[in-house]
Amino acid sequence: MRRVSENQTQSVPRADLMHYLRQVRGAVTRGLDGVSEYDLRRPLTPSGTNLLGLVKHLASVEAGYLGGCVGRPLPIRMSWLEDGSVWDGADMWARADESSESLLALYAAVGAHSEQVLAELPMDTPATVPWWPEERRVTTLGHLLVRVVAETAQHAGHIDILREGIDGRGGEDHDSFGDAEHWAAYVRAIQQAADHFRPRAAGPALTTAGTDPSGSI
């Protein structure tokens, strides 16, 4: 059996993690393609989640964990980090004076900066996260890379779902599973299974014609 060198062993997780980070970053930005400015910005859940805000948030998270926390801060100012409004949720939505182009460009710049940091520093590079509890704020670049991949993947999934709610466009592999007829049949099957557990309304059951089975109405 061929012996795997220590350097090869260490390079596998780095390469895999960087591959998946690039992949989920791409899913994030694809989810915004072709969406109107209004739909990019408007709240789409009761808690205010919105497409452009998720990109702004991910730019902030990645710049912090894969930049500032390892002594390689992004050379681009983010006002919501500087004035502390990030802690009031300012990184989760776009102000009217923040263009979608500028926020997407920021996310691209953050990604390029992270790629450079990850190419130059080993995974065991010490890192410090100032906003974590003191007893666990000292960690490594490798740990933070895993965290960024996980968070980006989580929000990429949110973006897929929100986008589908706007115009019906699913994720990247949506069309490979089937056409509109396939998806309609698939959804009907799910609904029929769920209907077995649909809460019953009070009073006598109604037939499909909307009449009492006894014929009294």
pLDDT in tens, 92-134: 999 999 999 999 999 999 999 999 999 999 999 999 999 999 9
Is the distance from CB of 56 to CB of 94 less than 8 angstroms?
Answer: yes
Task: Flag whether 74 is in a domain.
Answer: yes
* Structural domains of the chain, count: 1
pTM across the whole model:
0.83
Residue 177's domain comprises 6-193
C-beta neighbour count of 66 within 10 angstroms: 27
The residues, any chain, with a CB within 8 Å of residue 80's CB and separated by 6 or more, are 60, 86, 90, 91
pLDDT of residue 190: 94
Task: Flag whether 208 is in a domain.
Answer: no
* Band of residue 217 on the pLDDT scale cut at 50, 70, 90: very low
Q: Where are the beta strands (DSSP E) in the chain?
A: 126-128, 138-140
Task: Flag whether 200 is in a domain.
Answer: no
pLDDT of residue 1: 36
Instruction: Report how far apart, in Å, the C-alpha atoms of 180 and of each of 6, 56, 76 are.
Output: 50, 33, 44
Task: Flag whether 210 is in a domain.
Answer: no
pLDDT of residue 8: 41
pLDDT(201) > 90: no
Instruction: Report how far apart, in Å, the C-alpha atoms of 143 and of each of 26, 122, 146, 149 are.
Output: 22, 12, 5, 10
> Which CATH number fits the domain that encloses residue 159?
1.20.120.450
Instruction: Report how far apart, in Å, the C-alpha atoms of 162 and of each of 40, 43, 94, 132, 201 are.
Output: 10, 10, 16, 30, 31
Task: Flag whether 213 is in a domain.
Answer: no
pLDDT of residue 85: 96
> Which residues in 143-179 are b (16+ Cβ under 10 Å) and which e?
ebbbbbbebbbebbebbbebbeebeebebeeeeeeee
Task: Flag whether 211 is in a domain.
Answer: no
Q: Given the structure tokens 């990429």, which residue do they identify?
A: 156
Task: Flag whether 209 is in a domain.
Answer: no
State the DSSP code for 98: S
Q: Given the structure tokens 């960087």, which residue do they identify?
A: 18
59 φψ region: left (φ > 0), alpha (ψ -120 to 50), beta (else): alpha
* Band of residue 178 on the pLDDT scale cut at 50, 70, 90: confident
Is the distance from CB of 149 to CB of 13 less than 8 angstroms?
Answer: no
pLDDT of residue 203: 52
**CA 115/CA 111 separation, integer angstroms:** 6
Task: Flag whether 100 is in a domain.
Answer: yes
3 state DSSP class of 139: strand
